[in-house]
Amino acid sequence: MSDDKSIPSIDELTAKQERLANEVSEATTALDTAKSTFAASAKSDPTAVETLLELATGVKTAEGTVTAAQRAVSKCQTDIDGIRYDEAMGGVISASTAIKTSVTKPMV
């Protein structure tokens, strides 16, 4: 970890993950609304092809937004896990070095 400015902290990643989780929730609500609007329109006037196509496009867009937001949340968690792993491995390496140093010191 040579450049600390380029590595976000766990707190920053957690905050980002929470914001993204809210976006997933909002996108999921929009998707559900688009699906129910599509279903209602299809029942009320199945011949309104143009309207149904627009609504179907809206559903697909909402699905894409949900998927992208879910991936972003997952990436944040992966980044958080990676930082925790790096910190843990740094501790293991430091402890290992300390043990080697103390074992190889000559007795006085």
- Cα distances from 66 to residues 11, 22, 32, 93, in angstroms, run 24, 11, 11, 40
* Contact call for residues 38 and 56 (beta carbons, < 8 A): yes
Tokens representing residue 30 in the block: 């929009």
Question: What are the pLDDT tens digits along the chain (108 aa)?
Answer: 444 567 778 888 888 888 888 888 888 888 888 888 888 887 888 777 787 788 788 888 888 888 888 888 888 888 888 888 888 888 777 777 777 776 666 555
- Return the domain boundaries, the chain: 9-104
Q: Which residue has the tokens 């029942």?
A: 43
The C-alpha atoms of residue 27 and residue 58 are separated, in whole angstroms, by 11
Tokens representing residue 33 in the block: 């609304």
- Cα distances from 63 to residues 25, 31, 52, 54, in angstroms, run 12, 6, 16, 14
